[in-house]
Amino acid sequence: MSLPEVKLWRVLRQRPEGLKFRRQHPCGPYVADFYCHEARLVIEVDGEAHNRGNSPQRDEQRDDWFSAKGLTVLRIPAVAILNELDAAVMGIMTTAKGQIGED
């Protein structure tokens, strides 16, 4: 795992707000960086490589596949996790709770 993923996992493994997250979770032909089954939420940490070459197209294909399976994808730039971890976690929790109807 990359440093941003490690930092995020340290928080998510504590089951914030009672939600269970899995890391490196297999989803069909893909592996999600993090996944919350209850919220049907895939969390992808995007480093610099996600903006190079054909990575944006591959990411779009992954997102389309996840969406077709009824999953929501939340992409978070790695730099956002490194610079503002609390805000990134808050965004994840807001999205997850919204997905399960706990606004």
Q: Tens of pLDDT along 61-76? A: 999 999 999 999 999 9
Domains of the chain: 3-99 (3.40.960.10)
Order across the sheet with 72-77: list the strands.
22-27, 30-36, 41-46, 72-77
Structure confidence by residue, pLDDT tens digits, 14-71: 999 999 999 999 999 999 999 999 999 999 999 876 555 667 788 899 999 999 999 9
